[in-house]
Amino acid sequence: MGRRLYMQLRRQMNDGTLCAGSRAPSTRALAAEFGVSRTTVTAVYEQLAAEGFIVTAPGRVARVASQLTPSAPPRSGRRTRPQPTLSAYGTRVEAMALPALSAGKPPRIDFLYGAVAARDFPALPWRRAHQAALLQHQPRLYYEPPVGDASLRRALQGYLARARGLLCDAEQIVIVHGSQQAIDLCARVLLDPGDAFAFEDPGYLMARRCFEATGARLLPVPVDDQGLDTARLPEDRHVRLAYTTPSHQFPLGAMLPIGRRQELLRWAARRQAWIIEDDYDGEFRYGQRPIEALHAIDTDGRVIYIGTFSKALSPQLRLGYLVLPAELVPVFRQAKRLSDRHAPVIEQRALASLIDSGAYERHVRRVRRENERRRSALLDAVATHLPAGARVVGAAAGLHVVLWLPMQGQQDEAAVVAAAREAGVGVYALSPLYAGPPARSKPRQAGLILGYASLDVEQIRKGVRALAAALARVAAAP
């Protein structure tokens, strides 16, 4: 009711019509002018006084506060006032090239790596578990420990022992917002500007960027068909950690053999470095049972294990975890608390009950079978439709393959991706995952990443056929 009056008085004080220190209009006059009761005017004055616009005192006339300054007239043209600066981190991060976010309509058939099929999500069990967690009695709602919900950490401890041969205390587990936060916490807590880090080349770009954002120096380590080439790990004295994906190298797909695992651990001991083991899709191994984690053979407490629910459940859940050497638990606990206190409670409890009931592992087995079917369809379609030279690697595990196209040079990748896109098929260039330009003496062949976890078998077949046609068009182009 007094809103119009309030706004007019604010405006007049703002533009200087009512000067600082001057008498405020009488309540009687305002009541008449606005056709409201004097009670309304008094309420407006009380609000303005509470906000400090006017000064009132019993028995004195109200005055406009003396410190008030009318706002400057709006400046025209571009901003001339110098703006504050960003931190070194902010400056690095702002300039950083990150993978483009898919904007607009996705291609009709999208081999997007990292996406999973919506119908694979266990919506009903999740809804039930979520509802049960929501109704679980709590005397009050307050912050939880930064390391995460105790029931989820216990459930994970059992799961990791069963599924990944990884024996740890629940106390070593910290629940985080997906593996991205796990990586970011490692970067913050372990790297300074001027330090160096060893990183798989090619490797997972969103992890590399996290480490680079700290101002530390990238030391790329080549990857071959057995994964990280541990004979070429850097002996740089500034190196603080190595990031690796030993179960299924991202993106090339090798499993790091035991000899290299041991060599990596010896290197870490020699260099006093940490090893970050990103087990991003360790659940998905076809034929063999999933290999145990690198963490399982670490006797020195140098391996930081990272797990995620983004592949087996949904990347939109934003839940993952770290298994830390005991001595790193205190610093990660504090860093997680300062970062965002803790992960959401209901979701953690829902997940704990899914794991405890066995529903999670049943779900993983089911999705593994689904993905095995998708993978077979992809391999069959590649063998049937693509030219003879095309070679798939990394298909023994995970949710994507790499497709090498020796008939095309690396410089043709963009043309292939664009031609496929024109045909309604999304495929993704491999070369951005390399740390630097390829050696001139030995130009690399074109490579594509094809994720298949969000597609059905029919789409996969159609997609590969369309890709084959697009490749033929590129090859025929002048």
Comparison of 332 and 404: residue with beta carbon closer to its own copies: 332
- The 10 Å Cβ neighbour count of residue 91 is 11
**Stretch touching its own copies by CB under 8 A, among 272-280, 402-410, 417-425, 442-450:** 272-280
Using CB under 8 A as the binding rule, whether residue 76 contacts its own copies is answered as no
Candidates 32, 88, 161, 383: give the one binding its own copies (CB under 8 A).
Answer: 88
Using CB under 8 A as the binding rule, whether residue 344 contacts its own copies is answered as yes
Candidates 150, 218, 331, 415: give the one binding its own copies (CB under 8 A).
Answer: 331
| Residues 5 to 34 in contact with its own copies, rule: CB under 8 A | none
Least Å distance between CB 61 and its own copies?
19
Q: 449, 402 in Cβ contact below 8 A? A: yes
Strand-by-strand arrangement of the 320-323 sheet: 173-176, 320-323, 303-308, 274-278, 239-244, 196-201, 217-224, 227-228
| Residues 173 to 212 in contact with its own copies, rule: CB under 8 A | 176-178, 180-181, 184, 188-192, 195, 206, 209-210
Using CB under 8 A as the binding rule, whether residue 218 contacts its own copies is answered as no
What are the backbone dihedrals phi and psi of residue 197, each rounded to the nearest 5 degrees, phi first? -135, 140
Comparison of 353 and 454: residue with beta carbon closer to its own copies: 454
Residue 286: DSSP 8-state: S
Using CB under 8 A as the binding rule, whether residue 145 contacts its own copies is answered as yes
Using CB under 8 A as the binding rule, whether residue 283 contacts its own copies is answered as no
Q: Which residue spans within 255-328 are E strands per DSSP?
A: 274-278, 303-308, 320-323
**Stretch touching its own copies by CB under 8 A, among 271-279, 379-387, 413-421, 436-444:** 271-279
Using CB under 8 A as the binding rule, whether residue 289 contacts its own copies is answered as yes
Least Å distance between CB 465 and its own copies?
21
Pairing of strands 445-451, 428-429: antiparallel
Strand-by-strand arrangement of the 445-451 sheet: 391-393, 400-409, 445-451, 428-429
Q: Which amino acid is at 38?
A: R
* CA atoms of 442 and 421, how far apart (whole Å): 28
Number of residues that bind its own copies (CB under 8 A): 122
Candidates 31, 36, 93, 218: give the one binding its own copies (CB under 8 A).
Answer: 93
**Stretch touching its own copies by CB under 8 A, among 121-129, 361-369, 401-409, 432-440:** 121-129
| Residues 360 to 389 in contact with its own copies, rule: CB under 8 A | none
Owner of token pair 């196209």: 405
* CA atoms of 30 and 41, how far apart (whole Å): 7
